[in-house]
Structure 1
Amino acid sequence: MFHFNDEESIYQQIADQLIAAIMTGTLAEGDQVPSTTAIAKGYQINPATVLKGMNQLVDLHLIEKKRGLGMFVRTGAQQQARAMRQAAFSRDFIKPLLQEAKRLELTNDQLLKLIQEATSSD
């Protein structure tokens, strides 16, 4: 389930990958999230690191702790995760794209044409 790289902290990668799993429905609303211990043992990671990533999702209200049972995906988490990713996409990609288009003095029609051309070449 998890794939790690050296570019960002492991706890952040855990959080991001759990968010992706929620967003795609791999972890459905109501599903139990793999335990901190299971993830830590399975990937040879410090349990505190795993817990730090999971606590981010608790803070974002994507998962909830049920005392004595574990952590579960909250109702509405998929839609919320998608909305979070859309906001990040706008912030990280769309706004910089529009800023560069403005610097290049591209009209909206020209920009749309470039996007359509790029899409059709895939």
Structure 2
Amino acid sequence: VSFAELNAWVMAKSGFHHSANYRSAVLFGYFELVEDEQQQLAAYEHFVEQLETGRWKQIRQPNEKELQATSLLRMDIDEGAVKQRQGGPNDDIEDLVLPVWVGEIPIIKTWGERVEY
């Protein structure tokens, strides 16, 4: 399983040194099907509660048909690797005198206002 998150564009004095700040992870292991209904419900509740605290008690619980239609997998992590880049550009010394803006353009992630349907 792999995950990646882009956090910013890094702007340098040369195109060659433009980059990105990011975080990523690769996890290795074996998946196992979760067949116990109580374990499934506990996992779904945990997921929903991370989206909005208190939501699980407000919504209809999954019915038997929905539980049968959805496979839930669990993975014990055997090993993993994490990679991250942060900070500014790595310009060449001879480029430092160029009158070009350098820095980061951050990607700002925020939750918006609710949209009701």
Q: TM-score range by the shorter chain?
A: under 0.3
Q: Which has the higher helix share?
A: 1
**What is the TM-score when the length of structure 2 is the normalising length?**
0.25
1 or 2 for the larger relative contact order (CA 8 Å, sep ≥6)?
2
Indicate the structure (1 or 2) with the bigger Cα radius of gyration: 2
**What is the TM-score when the length of structure 1 is the normalising length?**
0.24
